[in-house]
Amino acid sequence: MKVYQPNEIKNLSLIGAAGSGKTTLAEAMMFEAGVISRRGDIESQNTVSDYNAIEHEQGRSVYSTVLHVEFNNKKLNIIDTPGLDDFVGGVISSLAVTDAAIMVINSSKGVEVGTQTISRHCNRLNTSMLIAVNQLDHEKANFDKTIEELHALYGNKVAIVQYPINPGTGYNEMVDVLKMKMYRWKPEGGVPEVLEIPADQMDKAKDLNQKLIEAAAENDDSLMEKFFDEGSLDEDQMRAGIRAGIISRGMFPVFCVAGKKDMGIRRMMEFVGNVAPNPTEMPAPVNSEGNEVKCDPNGKTSVFVFKTTVEEHVGEVLYFKVMSGKITEGMDLVNTNKNAKERLSQFFSPAGKNREKLTEMVAGDIGAMVKLKETKTNHTLNDKDLDWTYPAIQMPDPRFRTAIKPVDASEEEKLGDLLVRKSQEDPSIVVEYSKELKQTIVYGQGEFHINSLKWQLENLHGLKVQFIDPKIPYRETITKPAQADYRHKKQSGGAGQFGEVHMIIEPYTEGMPAPSTYKIDGKDWSVSLRGTEEIALPWGGKLVYCNCIVGGAIEARFMPAIQKGIMEKMEEGPLTGSYTRDIRVCIYDGKMHPVDSNEISFKLAGRNAFSQAFKAAGPKIMEPIYDVEVLVPSEYMGDVMSDLQGRRAMIMGMSSESGYEKLQARVPLAELNKYSTSLSSLTSGSATYTMKFAEYAQVPSDVQEKLLKAYEAEHKEEE
């Protein structure tokens, strides 16, 4: 393979809802470019994409697959991404390194929830986009309805470049209004006849051609002037205007394809090669120092790793983009995330599991490398005098959590190592050992996502695991002031232990006035503030520790020990053993012994006084509340809302978005276990949702009663 320069490279993500036909389309593109001599299909498990065992098992894309083709003296790097929302991590990482995306739409289904969800990621990442209306040979293909839905989603940015003449089972004719020609295929697809547009299609074709010219002219001032002067643009000028529109996201050109029959693929690839932006035409990424890194083959070498896989007989395979400069075989670079030197002994241009070995790659190109020691996903490899990094690719917040443990307890360490590796391969999987919950928690995008992880652990690594319901990270707090005092006294020969602590505790809120007077159980109390320490707790909230000692009742040297005792009890709350938060403690009196007082005595006195006061201060359990946003077809709205209300949700708002209903609610985490599965069941898989932590709120009294009883029963069993 020749060394392609940045202006000869086109980096594209194939994106779209599950079932839109991305993998089949990728297969047709590989066939048209001569990379493969025979098109595979998903049913036969012989496509270039979807080559992993789990993808064969499930019959769908689980990972993104990096491909390349050489076509008309251009190199097209194509990343075929998963369509199922559970595997959105592969979409996000692909969009981060490609210069445009081809949104594939199933013409029999139109704009789906999956289309909307992926569109949101494209909007957030400012991704340039083309649209391929696929499966026009399907018996239920409806191009006009699909275009209506695309206009509802993207507005006037939708620009028709091609339209089908006879969509449906006999589909074989399409009009291209950029070239003003008709294309007709034989039943086997491939290279079409290029014909004049029939008379009965000419008016429609001219009208769409004029609209395309106007849309192209709007993206370039000089073209707009020419359009006003002459009333038209030639084909090259239209291409220039369309390219400007694609780059600015002011234009989403629409193409007609039937991936399974290989119709329209070659023409779309010609357009991509001629018009889609190359890496030098896109906004430059910004490094950790806030500086742009230009796609310059003559600049200093800089490489970003966006994906990692582990393959049998190969080991770790790292997928990267050359951001600047060039790489050569045997080159030494520095991993600036790890401050470690790496030698590029082998790198390739990948086409699924097939890889073509290269000796040089330049800025803008995408490849794969092996045999690196320290480098992982989101790492930067630079020339030795560049010490900055690129920002890590930001994954969506997880929507599913479960606890995991090995069936054989002796394999705990093996599980830990594998989970770390899997989260490196797929950064949308988050693994946490919770000291608080005493569980290993795995977070993902949905139950299907996490079940796929389980399949890999068991079938690829021989580690049997089980999922168990994850505990909820409750918090404990108080609702009113309370007073307590405790004397710790111990005498057992020799030096004894003595410490007495008097305290008042109360709920803490930001901005509350300094402590002075209290009325507790009908009795008035006054304190004199000597000093305050605010402690931000690792688990959220605060402890405000106030020294109100007068007359030297407790020496200052013992105050840190009292605080330590209080903190120990806050790590294991009196109600359910959960962390406590948002409490102000005033130490106002106590007693010492000239010989027996020491730090351990005051730590224990402080701990026990706090525990007594806490139980008298109207203790409450708090639970994590999440903001949940559901995107659902209108016909399922009632069912989804009823289900959420059954989960103690508070509905915050409803609105419409491009033909779908958007429901916003606040829902306790305890009620969201396996919500992705329930939502899919309720809506036949047509809804999606996001969730993000919002706040901690007090649980209702009936829920608190259940939690207290459950905690008490658990401790009785342990005894």
pLDDT digits (tens, 9 = 90+) for 399-418: 999 999 999 999 999 999 99
Residue 617 reports pLDDT greater than 90:
yes
Per DSSP, 286 falls in state B
What are the residue ranges of CATH 2.40.30.10 in the chain? Answer: 302-382
Better-predicted residue by pLDDT, 314 or 92 = 92
| Cβ 22 vs Cβ 71: under 8 Å | no
Residue from 504, 501, 502, 505 nearest 605 by CA: 501
What would the mean pLDDT of 1-23 be, rounded to a whole number?
94
Lowest pLDDT segment from 14-18, 295-299, 618-622, 714-718: 714-718
Residue 715, φ and ψ in degrees, nearest 5: -75, -30
Where residue 671 falls among pLDDT bands split at 50, 70, 90?
A: very high
pLDDT attached to residue 318: 95
pLDDT attached to residue 105: 97
Where residue 128 falls among pLDDT bands split at 50, 70, 90?
A: very high
What are the residue ranges of CATH 3.30.70.870 in the chain? Answer: 400-471
Residue 719 reports pLDDT greater than 70:
no
- Three-state DSSP state, 27: helix
CATH superfamily of 6-281: P-loop containing nucleotide triphosphate hydrolases (3.40.50.300)
Rounded-to-integer distance, Cα 94 and Cα 520, Å? 61
Rounded-to-integer distance, Cα 637 and Cα 641, Å? 6
pLDDT attached to residue 403: 96
CA 625 to chain centre: 20
**Is 664 exposed, middle or buried (CB count within 10 Å of its CB: 0-12, 13-18, 19+)?**
middle
Helix (H) or strand (E) holding 443: strand 439-444
Lowest pLDDT segment from 169-183, 211-225, 274-288, 334-348: 211-225
What would the mean pLDDT of 556-574 be, rounded to a whole number?
94
Rounded-to-integer distance, Cα 626 and Cα 208, Å? 47
Residue 491 reports pLDDT greater than 90:
no
| Cβ 565 vs Cβ 606: under 8 Å | yes
Residue 494 reports pLDDT greater than 80:
no
Residue 718 reports pLDDT greater than 60:
no
pLDDT attached to residue 36: 85
Rounded-to-integer distance, Cα 399 and Cα 669, Å? 10
What are the residue ranges of CATH 3.30.230.10 in the chain? Answer: 479-618
Query: What's the token pair of residue 339?
Result: 């401050």
Q: For the domain covering 400-471, report its CATH number.
A: 3.30.70.870
Query: What's the token pair of residue 456?
Result: 């890999």
Where residue 493 falls among pLDDT bands split at 50, 70, 90?
A: low
CA distances from 226 to 214, 244, 246 (A): 11, 16, 20
What are the residue ranges of CATH 3.30.70.240 in the chain? Answer: 622-703
Residue 45 reports pLDDT greater than 80:
no
Residue from 3, 2, 9, 4 nearest 272 by CA: 9
| Cβ 467 vs Cβ 449: under 8 Å | no
What would the mean pLDDT of 468-487 be, rounded to a whole number?
95
For domain 622-703, give the fold.
Alpha-Beta Plaits (3.30.70)
Better-predicted residue by pLDDT, 325 or 311 = 325
CA distances from 503 to 156, 360, 469, 479, 600 (A): 68, 72, 39, 16, 18
pLDDT, the chain, mean: 92
pLDDT attached to residue 551: 87
Rounded-to-integer distance, Cα 14 and Cα 589, Å? 70
Per DSSP, 292 falls in state B
Rounded-to-integer distance, Cα 341 and Cα 381, Å? 9
pLDDT attached to residue 58: 77
Q: List the beta bridge partners of residue 519.
A: 524
Of all residues in the chain, the percent with pLDDT exceeding 90 is 78
Residue 23 reports pLDDT greater than 80:
yes
Of all residues in the chain, the percent with pLDDT exceeding 70 is 99
Residue 245 reports pLDDT greater than 60:
yes
Residue 170, φ and ψ in degrees, nearest 5: -100, 15
Residue from 528, 565, 534 nearest 549 by CA: 528
Task: Report the b/e string of 107-135 with b at 16+ CB within 10 A.
Answer: bbbbbbbbbbbbbebbeeeebbbbbbbbb
pLDDT attached to residue 712: 84
Residue type, 24: T
> What ranges in 231-312 are assigned the alpha helix state H?
235-247, 265-275
Task: Report the b/e string of 25-39 with b at 16+ CB within 10 A.
Answer: bbbbbbbbbebbeeb
What would the mean pLDDT of 111-131 be, rounded to a whole number?
92
Where residue 264 falls among pLDDT bands split at 50, 70, 90?
A: very high
Rounded-to-integer distance, Cα 580 and Cα 420, Å? 30
CA 582 to chain centre: 31
What would the mean pLDDT of 230-254 be, rounded to a whole number?
89
Instruction: Name the class of domain 479-618.
Output: alpha beta
CATH superfamily of 302-382: Translation factors (2.40.30.10)
Where residue 235 falls among pLDDT bands split at 50, 70, 90?
A: confident
pLDDT attached to residue 717: 59
Query: What's the token pair of residue 202?
Result: 């000419």
What would the mean pLDDT of 534-557 be, rounded to a whole number?
94
Residue 519 reports pLDDT greater than 60:
yes
What are the residue ranges of CATH 3.40.50.300 in the chain? Answer: 6-281
